[in-house]
Amino acid sequence: MRQSPRASLRPLGSSPGRRAPLFAGLLAAGLFLTGCTPEGGAGGETGTGTEGTTSGGGQEATGGTAGAGAATPGQVPEGLEEYYTQDLQWQGCQQDQGGFECATASAPLDYADPDGESIELALVRSAGAGEDAPHLLVNPGGPGVSGVDMVVEGLDYAVSADVREHYTVVGFDPRGVSRSAPVTCLTDEEMDEAREGHVDPSTDEGLAQLRESAREFAEACEEHTGEVLGHVDTESSARDMDLLRAVLGDDRLNFLGFSYGTDLGATYAGLFPQNVGRMVLDGAMDPSLPESEVTLAQAASYEEALVSWAEYCLAGSDCPLSGTPEDAVAQVQRLLEQVEQSPMTASDGRQVPASTFVSGMILALNANESWPVLTTAVQDALNGDPDLMLHLADLSAGRNEDGTYDSNVTAAITAVKCLDAPAPADTPVLREQAAELDEASPTLGRFLAYSGLYCAVWPEAPVSEPAPASAPGAAPIVVIGTTGDTATPYEWASVLADQLESAVLVTWEGQGHTAYGRAGDCIEGAVDAYLVDGTVPEDGLTCP
């Protein structure tokens, strides 16, 4: 195994004026809508399981000592023996919190060339479940969100106490993300500059400007990331997950995936159905949809969430809006029009264009727990103060108060999506898609338009196309959908459950993105009984 050299990060030479529209374009591409870290109070046989049955063909969730290389010879893909039998060297994390231990695992850069260069995948594991406890691999979504951060910073919210006592919970940064051969494009200063810019691609001049910014961004990513840029696709990450299963010492993969993590899980099940253990996919994606239809469905869901937030706001005593919910939404639309015409200035001197403003709104719309914050942010903005909305946008972009970015989510999500599916970007096609988005979401649609543009100029060709999931022979898989989900509409969960031969569908009649950890005892009880005891929920279970 030869270690791939880390690409150096050097200041880019492009002019500020040409870099400025970048973030507007990335927002327009709808490239950050599926990341999720759960919040809330709690922190075998083929075929569909039924209530009272046990997952994994009647077997307990498998455990073992990390580094044991417990995979059978038939489970090790040819040429990968060295990777599948490596020993993990666990040690205290740099910023040790709660007794977590960290390690890295080597993986081939290109699974088609296992004798070529390698990359390192960052891992973290929880303590307290015991040395022989089975492992539960978790992924918060994105693509581009750190699983290491999810475990270290939010384990109590990610899984319940019962799950933490039963499993050693393992978070990992997928390839291209954060600590695992990260996709690198802009410096912190350039990212700030990009987020302060805005362009109107509805005009021919604006669209040409956005195309040029997209090309510059793609060139920067290629320059600073190197060969890794062509190998951060979802299938490669799913293959990494099987490698991790083996080096953790488990015969089967137990997995909890949220949002885009459901795409990872479904892809894994399709590649390795015989290795599926207990798998929960919450906030499911439909892998058969082209990216344009993904963005269209998300736009409609966010518009519905905006109306629901307006109803909530008007029912309170401190709502800055008035009239009917439709009137309130119209007032928000006028506010956005004003910000488009004249970007606001935050107290730290940064400009807040409409694209950045909308990214803050979208983050708050993802969970009704955040609606009071959105109410205050809108009220402040109406009074000329954009600071709180900018803070929400900073959270979405991974920006710290000191101006540094501890997340590469914008770069990573672009790279993954551009490899996972083609994105036609002819001007007539883009204009037609923009019109559809505007109709589906009169408030937010225009900010999510032109989704194919960045991938059309991406330096790496897509390696796959949208297709239905299929995992014949896999143990029962639990798919969870939320009726009021913003980023992953409920219909996607229903479709994914139909696509996966052994899946059962669990529904939460709630609002916001994902359910487990937010939805109360019904969802938590069903998931915990499955993960801990192997009791598969009844297909069609609905939780109020």
**Token pair recorded at residue 11:** 């200041």
Structure token pair of residue 216? 């510059």
- Name the pLDDT band for 71 (thresholds 50, 70, 90): very low
**166 flagged as catalytic:** no
Give the separation between CA 119 and CA 104, rounded to whole angstroms.
10
Q: What is the mean pLDDT of the chain?
A: 88
pLDDT of amino acid 9: 22
Bridge pairing between strands 276-282 and 117-125: unpaired
CA distances from 23 to 18, 27, 347 (A): 12, 6, 21
pLDDT one-digit tens code per residue, 110-145: 999 999 999 999 999 998 888 899 999 999 999 999
pLDDT digits (tens, 9 = 90+) for 17-59: 323 444 445 554 444 445 554 343 323 333 333 333 333 333 4
34-181+232-288+467-543 maps to which CATH number? Answer: 3.40.50.1820
Reported as a single tens digit per residue, the pLDDT across 257-281 is 999 999 999 999 999 999 999 999 9
In terms of Cα–Cα distance, which of 185, 415, 220, 447 is closest to 212? Answer: 220
pLDDT of residue 44: 32
State residue 180's pLDDT score. Answer: 98
Mean pLDDT across 80-85: 97
Mean pLDDT of 432-455: 94
- Please report which residue ranges of 275-426 form alpha helices under DSSP H: 291-315, 325-341, 354-365, 371-382, 387-397, 409-420
What is the reported pLDDT for 289? 97
Tokens of 418: 């551009």
Has residue 14 got a pLDDT over 70? no
Average pLDDT for residues 466-482, to the nearest whole number? 98
Say if residues 134 and 167 touch (Cβ distance below 8 Å).
yes
d(CA 400, CA 391): 9
Which residue of the set 166, 198, 224, 513 is catalytic? Answer: 513
pLDDT, one tens digit per residue, over 100-110 is 999 999 999 99
Extract the tokens encoding 486: 């913003």
pLDDT score of 451? 77
Residue 79 predicted with pLDDT over 50 = yes
Can you give the pLDDT at residue 27?
Answer: 52
Q: Which of 240, 286, 485, 528 is catalytic?
A: 485
CA-CA-CA-CA torsion for 148, 153, 159, 164, nearest 10 degrees? 80
The two structure tokens encoding residue 57: 């063909």
Segment 188-205 shows an average pLDDT of 94
* Mean pLDDT value of segment 510-538: 97
Q: Is the dihedral of CA 129, 130, 134, 139 positive or negative?
A: positive
- Residue corresponding to tokens 């075929």: 47
40-60 as b/e: b if 16+ CB within 10 A: bebbbeeebbeeebbbbbeee
Q: Catalytic site residue 451?
A: no
233 is an active site residue? no
Least confident stretch, 22-26, 163-167, 183-187, 532-536: 22-26
Q: Give yes or no for residue 437 having a pLDDT over 80.
A: yes
- Please report which helix (H) or strand (E) contains residue 105, including its range: strand 101-108
If residue 282 lies in a helix (H) or strand (E), which one and from where to where?
Answer: strand 276-282
Of the candidates 178, 259, 355, 441, the residue annotated as catalytic is 259
